Structure 1
Amino acid sequence: MNLRSLSFLLLALPAVIHWAMSTATAAPPNIVLILSDDMAWTDYGFMDHPDVKTPNLDRLAAEAAVFPRGYVPTGLCRPSLATLLTGHYASTHGVTGNDPSPKYAPRDSDLYNQRRSQLISYLDRFETVPEALGKLGYLSHQSGKLWEGSFGNAGFTHGMTKGFPNRGGRHGDAGLKIGREGIEPINEFLDLAVQEKKPFFLWYAPFMPHTPHTPPERLLKKYRDKHPLTVAKYYAMCEWFDETCGQLMESLRQRDLEQNTLIVYLTDNGWIQDPNKNGYAPRSKQTPYEGGVRTPIFYWMPGKIPAKVHPELTSSIDIAPTILSAAGAPIPDDLPGIDLIPHLTEGSAIERDTIFGEGFAHDIADIENPEASLLYRWCIQGEWKLLLTYDGEVNRYASTHPRDEKGPQLFNLEEDPTEQHNVAKEHPEIVARLAERIQQWYPVTERKTQVTP
């Protein structure tokens, strides 16, 4: 351990001791993970969107530790959710895309289904967050999106998703009703947790504002006159999702549960609504651009986590160790994320200068070789963001996010937040430095890389 690391541990020690003592003498905290689905990092009131209304999330954010510069390592839902369950990057947990490629095995063939089962089995190599919490006596409930089989397979004690190989068990089945059709299954679970006097972990990942964009007319009419219909529907879906978050908070209040509950919020991946059609724009979902991987992340627990806007970079890779720490669970040594509890409780800066991510094709060409579908590796250090492109096999969705530039793409996010100007040729020394950091983080074979400007 170097001197800098030792100094940080000594500074953080009082916060860690305070949290440990308070959790040791009080009931373990309940933990609620709220996940929106396909939502842009800009589309919240607390992120200063001029039109989208999110009053319930705004109230939570005003009382929370907020990271406006939050990211998910992979801009696609299934690998992003698997990262939250395991605490590992997609290149480690192995679930790099949403489906096996039908190019190599026709859908519903025995081979295709075998590959689906094998992908789900990758979860068995890790102790998931709900499994770890279960060892401490936590009940857990899954609702909304889940790809890795049933709720029980993912380690939850209760839930809605039956999962593959059940009929319709692809990405949530019955769980996708949550939010759009009320939150009664969650209320029933909360009543059970209260009755049994057990701490709980709640996974609320509704299929919202994800397509189909079918908001109530009362919300749609608020946006229709100012925006194209496709955009108005999406904005109304954002507000509808926010309403369900308000319903969830009211359920906690009614049961006197909010006083000892940690709420973590983020979105699974970004989204930029195409104004001309019912879909997402380029440099959005499935890409490593800001529109695909950036999300606000906040941690809400009044009385224990002070309200503060944190300027540092953070990643969803940090959420698993932070949740485990909050519950008093051991954190596996191999988790790459940071336990944020000392930083959240004391407001100290995160001693990390670079975050990393990766992008793979939606359809997985080879479920045993992530590089076969690798399209990007990327990192952010300060104001600089470097994307490296790779020759992984594209798929039926490739036309929506073409690798429009080969070789490195370097952006100064302070001067060019929408990533319009690739300045890699002007700063070869920065490209070389950051490319080396990426290679140290996740090495790939040289034949895959195109790092020369």
Structure 2
Amino acid sequence: MNLIKYKLTTVLALLLGLFATVVTAQTKPNIVLIVSDDAGYSDFGFQGSKIMKTPYLDELAKQGVKFEQAYVTAAVCGPSRAGLLTGKYQERFGFEENNVPGYMVKSCLSDDDMGLPLDQKTMGNYMKELGYKTAVFGKWHMGSKDEFHPMNRGFDTFVGFRGGARSYYKYDPDDSEVKTENRLERGLGNFKESDEYMTDVLADASIDFIKENKNNPFFVYLAFNAVHAPLQSDKKDLVNFPNLTGKRKELAAMTLSLDRACGRVFETLKKLGLDKNTIVIFTNDNGGPTDSTTADNLPLSGMKATLLEGGIRVPFIMRWPGVLPANTVYKKPICTFDLLPTFYKMGGGNVAALKDIDGVDLLPHVLGKNTNLPHQELYWKGEVGSAMRDGNWKLLRFPDRPAELFDVDKDAGELNNLADQNPERVKAMYKKIFAWEQTLERPLWMLRRKYEGDAIKRMDVYWNRK
């Protein structure tokens, strides 16, 4: 009799444990982080565009919170993604001075040895620790060598390419001129090109992963290469923009494809009954490159690769039904490195245990439980110069002219230099930038000087002063 009781007790304990595991898996929110590439700040309907057609993303903004002052950690793709994935200033581990590889001085590391340092944990690592299935779809740009590969950096699944840009159409498998890092890869070293338009390929892969893991908590990092150059649209979308020509028409068609791909992901979540327990974030990796793709960053000045607002301020939406208020705007400055601790907390982790990050959990701020600024100070190092935001004030430090000071709450276009009227503030902020720089590692690689000159010219041309 005692034996029967023991067996019944054991079975009951196992069933209760299994039930607890299932309940935990079901209650953990899924997370889908969508990052577009090189999009203009104003090139979305929810950002005020009357040209671009983005109905699905516009609806997402109505269903969630739009962040008015969202920043990235760098004005170009690679460093920005490094900060996003690690939750900290990428300069703290030497990842600065533009993208890798191909832009660096000869005395630096070889191209193969440039990448996200192996001692840095990624979002994938953190979310796996919390029991999530993790995936990257699209652009990686964190190093081409196998040791830097997403599946060796905390992600279970990868469909995309290791480099920074590629064609939106299938490569010829016999074309030896195509770099291996830019070929479509499924898994680790399994290259398989697709006949589909690349934006659709990445959406399809994401949808398949979501369906396969509908009973598990999952974290998806959907890193579209759209709308990065080359400007190659899905030709069926061009007819929607009869009044546009040239590059602007191609960009508009590519943006429409991007929006439709996002919409297919949203619709999949809804059909599977996952939408109410899935956090969806949409943002962009840096400002749009107006000079090469016609991206529109107005009313902000500047563009990609500048530390003006148009280079580092990005569109940003977060939706979590039943938790975050719908159709609202959060106006205080945040940064994409805040996403890692925010996700970690959402997934059941203890943010206090994250000792080596610069981001903060955004939920208390968005929900009004913490009315302070998420960050009193934010810092940037660019191809040339540095920048700092201290409350409403932003200081720009240049290599070829005196520093300039702006109240970016009142002057987002950075048109009214207030440095001469506030010499003590300039001095104090200059010292803060220098003190911050003392905490950073030396760069693991250095940019060729020619690119620094190009950055200064680009800034002057696209600084929208009258």
Could you state the TM-score of these two structures normalised by the residue count of structure 2?
Answer: 0.74
**Do the aligned partners of residues 280 and 26 (structure 1) sit closer, same or farther apart at CA in structure 2, a change above 3 Å counting?**
closer
Among 344, 365, 368, the alignment partner of 2:366 is 344
Structure 1 unaligned regions, length at least 5: 1-22, 106-110, 362-374, 391-404, 446-453
- The residue aligned with 2:134 is 140
Helix, strand or coil: the match of 1:234? Answer: helix
Q: Is the 8 A contact 2:64 2:319 kept in 1?
A: yes
The residue number in structure 2 matching 1:409 is 404
- Structure 1 residue 155 corresponds to structure 2 residue 154: yes
Render the CA deviation track for 1:284-336: whole Å, top value 9, x for unaligned: 11111111111122221011112221111111121111111111123312211
1:211-232 CA-partner distances (Å, limit 9, x unpaired):
122223443343342x452222
Provide the C-alpha distance between the structure 2 equivalents of 1:291 and 1:101, rounded to a whole number of angstroms. Answer: 25
Q: Deviations over 1:271-293 (max 9, x none)?
A: 1533xx65679931111111111
Match for residue 55 of structure 1?
55
Which residue of structure 1 aligns with residue 262 of structure 2?
245
Tell me, yes or no, if structure 1 residue 80 matches structure 2 residue 100.
no
After superposition, the Cα gap between the structure-2 partners of 1:292 and 1:351, relative to the gap in structure 1 and judged at 3 Å, is closer
Structure 1 segments of 4+ aligned residues over 6 angstroms from their partners: 279-282
The yes-or-no answer on 1:327 pairing with 2:347 is: yes
**Among 238, 248, 271, which residue is 1:220 paired with?**
238
Instruction: Name the structure 1 match of 2:12.
Output: none
Name the CA distance, whole Å, in 1 between partners of 2:369 and 2:232. 40
| Counterpart secondary structure, 1:244 | helix
The alpha-carbon distance between structure 1 residues 54 and 348, as it changes in their structure 2 partners (threshold 3 A), is: farther
Task: Give the count of matched residue pairs.
Answer: 383
Is the 1:57–1:242 Cα contact (8 Å) retained in structure 2? yes
Tell me which residue corresponds to 1:379: 388
CA distance in structure 2 between the partners assigned to 1:425 and 1:136 by the alignment:
51
Q: For 1:429, which of 424, 429, 441 is the aligned residue?
A: 424
Whether the 8 Å CA contact 1:145–1:172 is kept in 2: the answer is no
Structure of greater Rg? 2
Alpha-carbon RMSD across the aligned residues, in angstroms, is: 2.9
1:172-187 pair list within 5 angstroms: 173-174=184-185, 178-181=198-201, 183-187=203-207
Tell me if the contact between 1:286 and 1:359 (Cα under 8 Å) persists in the aligned partners: no
1:287-306 equivalence runs, <5 A: 287-306=306-325
Q: Deviations over 1:38-60 (max 9, x none)?
A: 01222221122222221111111
> Which residues of structure 2 form unaligned runs of 5+?
1-22, 143-147, 164-175, 187-192, 441-466
Letter in 2 for 1:329: G
Equivalents in 1 of 2:313, 2:181: separation in Å?
25
Q: Which moved more, 1:262-271 or 1:176-185?
A: 176-185
Q: Percent identity?
A: 27
Deviation at 1:152, TM superposition (A): 0.6
SS of aligned partner of 2:32: strand
Cα contact 1:312–1:349 (8 A) shared by 2: no
Distance 1:343 1:41, change over 3 A: same
The alpha carbon displacement at 1:259 in A equals 1.6
Task: Give distance in 2, aligned partners of 1:425 and 1:228.
Answer: 44
Task: Please state how far the C-alpha of 1:430 moved relative to its aligned partner.
Answer: 2.4
Q: 2:46 touches 2:61 (CA, 8 Å); kept in 1?
A: yes
CA distances 1:142-161 after superposition (whole Å, capped 9, x unpaired): 11110223221221001114
Match of 2:111 in 1: 116
1:346 Cα offset (Å): 4.2
Q: When the two structures are superposed, what TM-score results if normalisation uses the length of structure 1?
A: 0.76
After superposition, the Cα gap between the structure-2 partners of 1:359 and 1:351, relative to the gap in structure 1 and judged at 3 Å, is closer
Are the structure 2 counterparts of residues 439 and 408 from structure 1 closer, same or farther at C-alpha, using a change threshold of 3 Å? Answer: same
The verdict on how the C-alpha distance between 1:433 and 1:103 changes in structure 2, with shifts beyond 3 A counting, is: closer
Counterparts of 1:150 and 1:349, CA distance in 2: 39
Shift of 1:138: 1.0
